[in-house]
Amino acid sequence: MRRSLRSLVVATAAAALVLPLWGATAANAEPPGYSHADKDTLRNQAPRDLAIGSAVWGKRDLVDYDRSAPTEYQQVLSAQFSSLTPENDMKWDAVHPAPDVYDFSSADALVAFAKANHQQVRGHTLLWHSQNPAWVTAASQTWTCDQARAVLEDHIRTVVGHFKGEIYEWDVANEIFQDTWDNGGVRLRTEANPFLKACAADPIALLEDAFRWAHEADPEAVLFLNDYNAEGINEKTDAYYALAQRMLADGVPLGGFGAQGHLSLLYGFDTSIQANFERFAALGLQVAVTEADVRIPLQAGETGPTPEQVAVQAERYDAMLEACLNVTACSSFTVWGFPDANSWVPDVFPGEGWATILEDDYSPKPAFDAMLESLREATPGTSPRHG
């Protein structure tokens, strides 16, 4: 397996390094009460400069957190992962349910859990066409661009400001490009996204200001563009690459590009992930796999996937992780939740499932084992962010 510059660091020397602080916490510091004798977990085996994360729903899984008596799910979450992404708790409909109302209760529970267990938090998401509250959907029908800008600016400054110093990466703009098969090729979602629609005369200006507002609210957070079908080199990532070049030329505080990594065995696998990451890294950006899962088509009456499907799933998870490990600028690798009972896949993709790396009893799947082995083989690194 081809390894990154991280592999050039002598293992014994790296092991002697004191874990540095990254944002509010050490990237892979052990959680309190850590009791795994062999320490053979994803977060422990990861390079020092690579956060290994999971999506989590604070409202469902963490608001009842009792540090002295964690649930089994909470124990696994703290032992395996050094980064958390709110699956829903920081989206518009959760934190901004009414024009003058902000509700951070479930997001705060997630951040509190992360702090208690020496984990970092990826913010998700500030500008998206989906999961907007009803008041945004209704009001946006008559918004002028100035009105849309005012609402978006207030939201970004309020939300990012609330979590200042507690979020190491923010998905500022999520899924702003449509795919090639959506009526004429890749283009900005100026119809589906209420803010881009209101400012359709110059949507890039609004997008760039969204990054500026987020940066002003928290100068330390790394600000990302994020999308699906953005793993390899294709028309969509070409569009993002051109956008990133323009934003950087305009002095926008763009810091990263995220490929979600929602894959399916119904389709082929794009082997150009590493090359795609390398070209964004060459612009001076961080890159990340932000929402990885690999769903499997399941026939009616089947109790589970075939051994062949399980093997392919493991290969694809590991290939995404390998691409990240081979690019020094890859700052985080996040799986989109666990176990399968918590996965969004069956509800959104009928007939597909078994998409996560852990069984419902939290036992590891071959995909987990493959990832753990690759992390074991990746020597802890010393990226510029950690001296």
How do residues 293-332 score in pLDDT, each as one tens digit?
Answer: 999 999 877 768 999 999 999 999 999 999 999 999 999 9
Task: Please tell me the predicted confidence (pLDDT) of residue 244.
Answer: 98
Would you state the pLDDT for residue 302? 73
Give the pLDDT confidence score for residue 180 in this predicted structure. Answer: 65
Q: Is residue 116 part of a domain?
A: yes
> How much is the pLDDT for 386?
29
Instruction: Read off the pLDDT of each residue in 68-73 and give the average, rounded to a whole number.
Output: 97
Is position 152 within any domain? yes
Within a domain: 371: yes
| pLDDT value at residue 299 | 82
Looking from the CA of 123 toward its CB, the CA atoms found within 13 Å total 33
Is the previous residue joined to 144 through a cis bond, with omega within 30 degrees of 0? no
pLDDT at 183 (0 to 100): 59
* Residues in contact with 37: Cβ distance below 8 Å, sequence separation at least 6, in sequence order: none
Tally of domains within the chain: 1
Asked whether residue 387 is assigned to any structural domain, the reply reads: no
- What's the rounded mean pLDDT across residues 258-279? 98
What band does 16 get if pLDDT is binned at 50, 70 and 90?
A: very low
Confidence of residue 46 (pLDDT cuts 50, 70, 90): very high
Annotated catalytic residue, options 30, 87, 169, 175: 175
Pairing label, strands 120-127, 169-174:
parallel
In a domain, 206, yes or no: yes
291 is known as an active-site residue: yes
Torsion sign across C-alpha atoms 261, 267, 273, 279: negative
Q: Give percent of the chain above pLDDT 90.
A: 83
CB 204 within 8 A of CB 210: no
User: Which pLDDT score is estimated for 300?
Assistant: 77
pLDDT at 29: 52
Q: Is 220 a catalytic residue?
A: no
pTM tops 0.85, yes or no: yes
Condensed to tens digits (0 to 9), the pLDDT of residues 128-148 reads 999 999 999 999 999 999 999
For residue 145, is it within any domain? Answer: yes
What is the span of the domain harbouring residue 134? 5-382
- Predicted pLDDT at 322: 97
Residue 28 confidence class, pLDDT cut points 50, 70, 90: low
Whether 47 maps to a domain, the answer reads yes
Report how far residue 274's alpha carbon sits from residue 231's, in angstroms, rounded to the nearest whole number: 9
In a domain, 162, yes or no: yes
Beta-carbon neighbour count of residue 72 at 10 Å? 9
Looking at per-residue confidence, does 16 or 238 come out higher?
238
Q: Which of 169, 231, 291, 322 is catalytic?
A: 291
**Residue 379 binned pLDDT confidence (cut-offs 50, 70, 90):** low
Q: How far apart are alpha carbons 89 and 93 in whole angstroms?
A: 9
The per-residue pLDDT for 212 is 98
Dmax (CA) for the chain in angstroms is 62
Angle between helices 235-249 and 273-281 (to 10 degrees): 10
Mean pLDDT score across all residues of the chain:
89
Which of the pair, 299 or 60, is modelled with greater confidence?
60
- The CATH code of the domain that includes 329 is 3.20.20.80
Q: What is the 3-state secondary structure (H, E, C) of the chain?
A: CCCCHHHHCCHHHHHCCCCCEECCEECCCCCCCCCCCCCCCHHHHCCCCCEEEEEECHHHHCCCCCCCCCCHHHHHHHHHCCEEEECCCCCHHHHCCECCECCCHHHHHHHHHHHHCCCEEEEEEEECCCCCCHHHHHHCCCCCHHHHHHHHHHHHHHHHHHCCCCCCEEEEEECCECCCCCCCCCCECCCCCHHHHHCCCCHHHHHHHHHHHHHHHCCCCEEEEEECCCCCCCHHHHHHHHHHHHHHHCCCCCCEEEECCEEECCCCCCCCHHHHHHHHHCCCCEEEEEEEEEEEECCCCCCCCCHHHHHHHHHHHHHHHHHHHCCCCEEEEEECCCCHHHCCHHHHCCCEECCCCECCCCCECHHHHHHHHHHHHCCCCCCHHHC
Q: Per-residue pLDDT for 22 more than 70?
A: no
pLDDT at residue number 301: 72
